[in-house]
Structure 1
């Protein structure tokens, strides 16, 4: 008898079926327009874009324009690339436009599908971002799809690391911009450290399509993006403490692989304290438990983590004397990425390479909060349904499974579980040998570089030719993946997430054509392609006869999605294929999550050496273990996000304030309000409200005004006046402050003064924000301990974080008012001194000796001074820009000479 849920699904279909069904009428409309758009000339296709864009910007909804826009884009792609989007790709495009995640199997054409909603949303004129997992894919996709956008009359840009600023700004101003998630996040942070609107790269966050959305929004979301600057160098301390760690034994620390944490035991604390004192790293009479020892405690803790949790060739590699992290999800090197809080330095000390200085946070943001800036977000991947709850809860994204163009013909076998890793690898080599003898191409997935190289050695001993793709060979990535579908090919790869190059049976035609043209540039491309396509068809038929691509995984990953991504490399577009997972009880996942029960079961079954157990129950128990890990990781990300949300509200307030300041022409009112607020705070401090005059501290207030507002006022006399109150004194201070600033305005000139106010405000905001981030980091690191006192750490963090923010704003007002009150034009003597320092500096840079007594005096470069220029009368200086030559004729920029801030 059918259950109620099953019966309902049979009658009404699943929610996913209903969503797919709802797009069919729209797809039919697009198809009905195909003949009309096929009849258009190339120019008419561009004209249609112009017409659609005008309608969008006059207020017509993008939903109403969708059928025409999709039909136009499909026709442009057919002409530019020879690819006509299938109906399922149109469906996927509709789901993306609606702000969903489209789950499409590997090889179904996600890259082409993204052009449809990207084109439609670009008509609004606000820019569309297409987000990829690495720079290679961003450049490749931008280059490939720019042909489609160009045929439609749109511009395409690509953003990459270390890109010149002008080029980056132009890329963001294009209609469609391709970039990696990292670069987008970092550019957002960099933009909010710029000093003028013109220097900012990004122009807003309208619509983003995230490729490999699970990898970017789930896997990478555990780590925030941080822009940091160097702080003090403590490399000697790292090296000294690193020498002590090898002396520890297993009784000295407790390692928890489930939570990836390691701590000292009581014996370990005593032992390491003895070593630290013996090495002279703690002063006489001081122990590790003293408050003064926190730095040393931090270092010995990070050194322990570096040795016990981070392993070479798994978590990082050493290349050119540098420790480079490896992305656990994609197996790629993360150039330029460093672990924070001194952990990276501890690993550098362990590996004996040069220790880079520690960094202090200048700006940070999580991927969750960056991507929630977009008015509309969409994503595409082959594997998202296992994380549907997280996508909905964190990002408000629905997950829709898009049907495949052709039915999947891949055969997924049950897992094979061995007792030991040695037996497992023997079984893997045997399986590879058997498949290789039939010519069936194989993709062998491993979880680390170390294991990929170990398996490679075993295959060499067995005489099986193969390719290895891991972080060491990432430059040859596209070539190795393109060859993986050839007859008899064996490819070992660490984590295949987001490789971006399809494994095509018989090899990749495009790659073969490019190779042939590189060998013979004079050859006719059309003839070459025709010959290669004929050869390819022959080889593809042989591969299909051999059973298609065989994906063999040597271990299960913590996340089911990573396993599904590997499986999905086989069986693309209805091709035959096969997948199998080989496991052992010594694998990390099996060992950490419940292998004891399985071990006892296997022992009772009396398994022989080299024998594997294959049963659906094993698959189910493994999936439960993986679901547990995924749930724990989701909780970690949720907790990270809750804490970052506190900072995010403050970040938005500060970044919004900066933007307002950069856009404002005149900030005099803002700085006047700040100055008056400082005066009011000082009056309240030294002449408290509701107190008598004999309780007031007039001398203290006078001193504070000299310090904070550069005002020398007879406050003590005012205090003694008959009938005077706090409001009268405050008004007098405000008037005196306004007079002082009016004098500065006359001395510098209005334009210069406005520039000075803007720069002082921005510089002070940035400095204060950096200090605030550091305080929040320190608060975050200790607030967890409040849980022991039955207090909610998150609530405590929110309350204290808000208090710190208020304190920062008060401090900001004081600093801005103080700096603006103290600036003044330079005297002639100071200008001469500066000029001489400048010349000495230039001479030193040119490798010449600094002049000594007796040398002939050096004449300053002296271009013509502006006519009527008077050193002491700023009114005669004109209104030079900060980067214009100084009107005094010194040859320096105005900001370094008479316009200098002091």
Structure 2
């Protein structure tokens, strides 16, 4: 019997159905214009773009010109690419223009869909950003869809890592810019560290269309983008601590896989203290619990996390001398991305590769706050419905499911649950063999590189030819995915399966044509294409007869979206297909989130080895476990965002102030306001309000004015005069400081003084902001403990963060004022002396570096003065056998345990 909700949906339709139905009228209006636009010449299509731009500039709303713009874009795409957009693609484009997420299944042509809203919104002249997940897709999509924009008379830009500043500025100056999410965020941070407006690359945040929106705005939202600079080198400490981490046993620590945390037990702390004392890392008279031990404790904790929480070939891979992180959601390598707080260095020590220095944060932003800068945001993905609540609450984005062009014919089978991983993989290999023998292509989804390579070995033992697609084969991704639809093909993939490249049944014609022409450049392209099209068509018929693409997943992921992405690779554009998940009680999700009840069920059923349990209830309980994990991850991201919002408000204020300063022709007024504020603060400090003259510290004020404002004001004498109150004192100091700065401006020249003021102000803002970021990081790391005192950590962070921000602004005013007060033009002689001094310093530094180079030791090093006879520094055999509390044989006068015995 149907519930009331289900009955209401049958009568009125779902909210999604109603949205789609309402938008179909606009699609009909676009279709009605098609004959008119088909009759236009190529030149007329470009002329229409100019006419539409003029109408928008004249105040006409984008919604009013939408039907004509979409009709023009459809015709341009038909001519440039030979693709005529389906009605559902126009629907998707309209939803994107309205600032929604369009959920479109795999193979529905999302890349083309993005051109419609991008074209319409580019008519404003403010630029549109189309965001994708990697550099390959940026270049591919810009090259492919750039033909459409070119036919419409618009320019297309590309922004990828490694470009020069000029290339970046050109990329952002285009009407439509294709870029990766990382590069957009980093360019925003870099722009806000520039010294002048013309050096900035981005020209505003008007409209962004985010492809794979769930991956970028949800999966990566927990990771802030950080621009950092190197700090002091502590590689020796990491190596020394890493040496005894393998000695730690299970009783020394507790591991919580749900929270991904690991902590030392009391036994572990005692063991550590002894080992750290022995290694000389922790002084003998110092305990792990002393405040001075904080840094060492932090490093030891990171060493433990590196060994117990981070697995090689799952969370990272070692490539040459680098530890490269692997994205847990997409399985892609993330070169250049490093873990913070010394964790990456701890992993480098574990793997025995060179340890890069730790970094200090110069600027940072989360994807959540970066993408909220845009006036309008939209996104596309095959899987967003499960996260609709998060998209709405954080980004204000609605999710609209766009109907498929043809009905989905894929069969999604119930999960098969085995008792052990061994039984599960034996069943998987058997299933792959059966499908392969009947010519059905198989896509096998795994959750880590390690598991994909283990399954690969099992298939090799069975003599089954296959491709493995994971972070190690990153460069071959498009090729492997293009071949995955051939008859009998077996492709093992981590969760990145096929992103950006469709698995086409029978094979990918375009890819094969390119390969054939590369192998034989003399061949006739038309003949090659005709031959390959015929071969692929024959192969496609064989695959269709075998049942289409078979997606076999070896494990459920924490998120239902990742599972749905894998499933969605099969059954594109109405093709037949099949999908099934093979699970075991040893799988991470089953083990961590409730396999006990299932184990009881399996025991009750008395299952034999190799048998699987297949039941809708199993699917339901697994989905509930996944929903729990998704909910927990959402809470983590929400909490992260609340904390980041505090910093974001401050970041915006600082960046806006920087921009104003860079754009201002004359900033003398800003400098004067700061100067006057410093005067006010000094007067309030030394001549407190509502006090009498005999309570003033006039001499203290005179000294402070001399120190901070470089003004020799007779404050003590003024204070003796009748009728001089705080207000009169302020005015006199304002005049004295203004006069001094006017003299400096005359001495330097007005133009040069403006440049000096601007540079001093910007450099001081940047330095103070960097210090402030570090302070906020430290505050963030300790504020959580306030919860033990029944105080809300977030409120504490807000209050103290605001106080710290005000303190930063006060010190900024004081420092800028002091620097500007103390500058003066150099005489020719002083300039010459300064250059000579700098050159001498440079020479001394070079000599010091040369002297610090290790020299080869050709003979025994002499014993130190007062050392025992025969004592050789580098040879412990010559030290005798002193007790720990005996004087050290080197003659230092220290006890042996505090000197050479500490090593």
Q: Could you tell me how far apart the structure 1 residues matched to 2:524 and 2:370 are?
A: 48
Aligned to 1:542: 542
> Deviation of residue 245 (structure 1)?
1.1
Aligned to 1:642: 642
- My pick for the range that moved more, 763-772 or 833-842, is 833-842
Aligned to 2:880: none
> Deviation of residue 453 (structure 1)?
0.6
Question: Are 1:585 and 2:593 matched, yes or no?
Answer: no
1:174-213 equivalent positions in 2, closer than 5 A: 174-213=174-213
Aligned to 2:858: none
- My pick for the range that moved more, 596-605 or 481-490, is 596-605
> Deviation of residue 725 (structure 1)?
1.9
> Deviation of residue 297 (structure 1)?
1.1
SS at match of 1:244: helix
SS at match of 1:716: helix
Q: Could you tell me how far apart the structure 2 residues matched to 1:497 and 1:272 are?
A: 44
Q: Could you tell me how far apart the structure 1 residues matched to 2:514 and 2:596 are?
A: 53
Question: Are 1:814 and 2:814 matched, yes or no?
Answer: yes
Aligned to 2:8: 8
Q: Could you tell me how far apart the structure 1 residues matched to 2:819 and 2:524 are?
A: 70
Aligned to 2:551: 551
Question: Does the 8 Å contact 2:439/2:546 carry over to 1?
Answer: yes
In 2 relative to 1, CA 706–116 (structure 1 residues): closer, same or farther, beyond 3 Å?
Answer: same
Q: CA offsets, 1:210-251, max 9 Å, x none?
A: 000011111000111111111111111111111121111111
SS at match of 2:333: coil
Question: Does the 8 Å contact 2:106/2:572 carry over to 1?
Answer: yes
> Deviation of residue 642 (structure 1)?
0.5
Question: Does the 8 Å contact 1:329/1:497 carry over to 2?
Answer: no
Q: Could you tell me how far apart the structure 2 residues matched to 1:841 and 1:446 are?
A: 58
Q: Could you tell me how far apart the structure 1 residues matched to 2:601 and 2:425 are?
A: 22
Question: Are 1:773 and 2:767 matched, yes or no?
Answer: no
Question: Does the 8 Å contact 1:417/1:612 carry over to 2?
Answer: yes
1:601-750 equivalent positions in 2, closer than 5 A: 601-750=601-750
> Deviation of residue 844 (structure 1)?
12
Q: CA offsets, 1:544-588, max 9 Å, x none?
A: 111111111110000000000000000000111111111110000
Q: CA offsets, 1:265-302, max 9 Å, x none?
A: 12111221221122111223111111111111111111
In 2 relative to 1, CA 601–319 (structure 1 residues): closer, same or farther, beyond 3 Å?
Answer: same
1:882-901 equivalent positions in 2, closer than 5 A: none
> Deviation of residue 699 (structure 1)?
2.5
Q: Could you tell me how far apart the structure 2 residues matched to 1:709 and 1:499 are?
A: 61
Question: Does the 8 Å contact 2:483/2:508 carry over to 1?
Answer: yes
Q: CA offsets, 1:630-673, max 9 Å, x none?
A: 00000000000011111111111111111110110000011011
Q: Could you tell me how far apart the structure 2 residues matched to 1:91 and 1:725 are?
A: 73
Q: CA offsets, 1:434-472, max 9 Å, x none?
A: 111111111111111111110111111110000011111
- My pick for the range that moved more, 224-233 or 474-483, is 224-233
> Deviation of residue 497 (structure 1)?
5.8
> Deviation of residue 841 (structure 1)?
9.8
Q: Structure 2 stretches of 5 or more lacking a match? A: 851-903
1:23-38 equivalent positions in 2, closer than 5 A: 23-38=23-38
Q: CA offsets, 1:512-532, max 9 Å, x none?
A: 010011011122222221221
> Deviation of residue 484 (structure 1)?
0.5
Question: Are 1:576 and 2:576 matched, yes or no?
Answer: yes
In 2 relative to 1, CA 731–846 (structure 1 residues): closer, same or farther, beyond 3 Å?
Answer: closer
Q: Could you tell me how far apart the structure 2 residues matched to 1:273 and 1:221 are?
A: 38
Question: Are 1:75 and 2:75 matched, yes or no?
Answer: yes
In 2 relative to 1, CA 846–781 (structure 1 residues): closer, same or farther, beyond 3 Å?
Answer: closer
Aligned to 1:396: 396
> Deviation of residue 836 (structure 1)?
4.3
Aligned to 2:431: 431
Q: Could you tell me how far apart the structure 1 residues matched to 2:165 and 2:199 are?
A: 8
SS at match of 1:272: helix
Q: Could you tell me how far apart the structure 1 residues matched to 2:225 and 2:296 are?
A: 27
Q: CA offsets, 1:667-715, max 9 Å, x none?
A: 0011011001101111111121222323222222222122211122232
Q: Structure 1 stretches of 5 or more lacking a match? A: 851-902
Aligned to 2:882: none
Q: CA offsets, 1:91-120, max 9 Å, x none?
A: 000100111110010000000011011101
In 2 relative to 1, CA 317–706 (structure 1 residues): closer, same or farther, beyond 3 Å?
Answer: same
What TM-score comes out, normalization by structure 2 length? 0.92
> Deviation of residue 835 (structure 1)?
4.2
Q: Could you tell me how far apart the structure 2 residues matched to 1:289 and 1:696 are?
A: 47
Aligned to 1:513: 513
Q: CA offsets, 1:52-111, max 9 Å, x none?
A: 011011110110111000000000000000000000000000100111110010000000
Question: Does the 8 Å contact 1:548/1:571 carry over to 2?
Answer: yes
1:228-243 equivalent positions in 2, closer than 5 A: 228-243=228-243
SS at match of 2:220: helix
Question: Does the 8 Å contact 1:16/1:401 carry over to 2?
Answer: yes
The Cα RMSD (Å) is 1.7
Q: CA offsets, 1:109-147, max 9 Å, x none?
A: 000011011101100110000000111111110010000
Q: Could you tell me how far apart the structure 1 residues matched to 2:837 and 2:728 are?
A: 48
SS at match of 2:114: helix
Q: Could you tell me how far apart the structure 1 residues matched to 2:771 and 2:747 are?
A: 33
Question: Does the 8 Å contact 2:505/2:549 carry over to 1?
Answer: yes
Q: Could you tell me how far apart the structure 2 residues matched to 1:197 and 1:50 are?
A: 29
What TM-score comes out, normalization by structure 1 length? 0.92
Aligned to 1:345: 345
